[in-house]
Amino acid sequence: MSKTILITGTSSGYGKAMASLFLERGWNVIATMRRPDASLFPPSDRLKVLPLDVTDSDSIAAAIAEGVAAFGTIEVVVNNAGIGLASVVEATPDHIVREIFETNSFGVFAACRAIIPQFRHQGHGTVINVTSSAAIAPPALVAIYAASKWAVEGFTESLSYELASFGLRARLVEPGYAPTTSFTANGGDRMQGLIPADYGAFAQACFGKMANYPTAYCTEAEVAEATWRAATEAGNRLRYPAGADTQLLSDLRWTTSEDHYLARMRAMFGPELQPA
């Protein structure tokens, strides 16, 4: 029998690529999004397109229940839904900070709480939480976004120990920067006015460095493949970096000294520090 995966945030970008890949490889797919649009995927008896808002616990529970009713079990849940933000910390109001955390962090926590009892009852299951290369090595102007993703990194690592006692898994997929996704476009309205004029030269220099990335950018296909490995591989691996950029940053963070890491990050992504 086909295994079943539930993926949040499948209307575009990484989530859509994940759903398409798992469908192609014979899985049942519960593709969820806030405003369901079945036309995004070819018709299939192995596909359910359902509404799910990760900031609404009732919506999460309903999607899980409908998915189980349709396919019998859910083997994997991918918490992919997220929103981006580029901003200066001092100019970012509380309501924007809370909006980012409600989706990127608290929504992940809520979905995990909702599915874990189902996994324990059936005796198997994997949670895959999608973070970001910014949760490994954050550049400038993403402090709030990075914080929301770092929260999920720590949450998932700790959760993996809890779930292992029941034979369940929690894993991380860490995408890099993918200009082909709608990450920037979706956050455009939210980011208006969050980079004040006093930071203009600094921001311009930072964005210029991002436009001349030291590696290839990440692609949706690479993230989908990393998610496939996280869903299907045996063993105790926790983190699945996706894309050459994430691999570069992961190597810098985990295999070099702090001094070397910071010097390289400043050279790649930040303007020269001003003298004290």
Q: Active-site residue numbers?
A: 145
Residue-level pLDDT at 180: 83
Residue-level pLDDT at 265: 92
Return per-residue pLDDT of the chain as tens, 276 residues.
799 999 999 999 999 999 999 999 999 999 999 999 999 999 999 999 999 999 999 999 999 999 999 999 999 999 999 999 999 999 999 999 999 999 999 999 999 999 999 999 999 999 999 999 999 999 999 999 999 999 999 999 999 999 999 999 999 999 998 888 765 556 667 778 899 999 999 999 988 888 888 888 999 999 999 999 999 999 999 999 999 999 999 999 999 999 999 999 988 887 655 554
Determine how many CB atoms are found less than 10 A away from the CB of residue 34.
15
> What residues does each domain of the chain span?
4-195+218-249
Residue-level pLDDT at 211: 83
Residue-level pLDDT at 276: 47
At a CB cut-off of 8 Å and minimum separation 6, what does 105 contact? 148, 149, 151, 152, 155
Considering the domain 4-195+218-249, what is its CATH architecture? 3-Layer(aba) Sandwich (3.40)
Residue-level pLDDT at 81: 97
- Give CA angle at 45 (39, 50), nearest 5°: 50
Query: What CA–CA distances, in Å, run from 215 to 4, 89, 259?
Result: 35, 27, 21
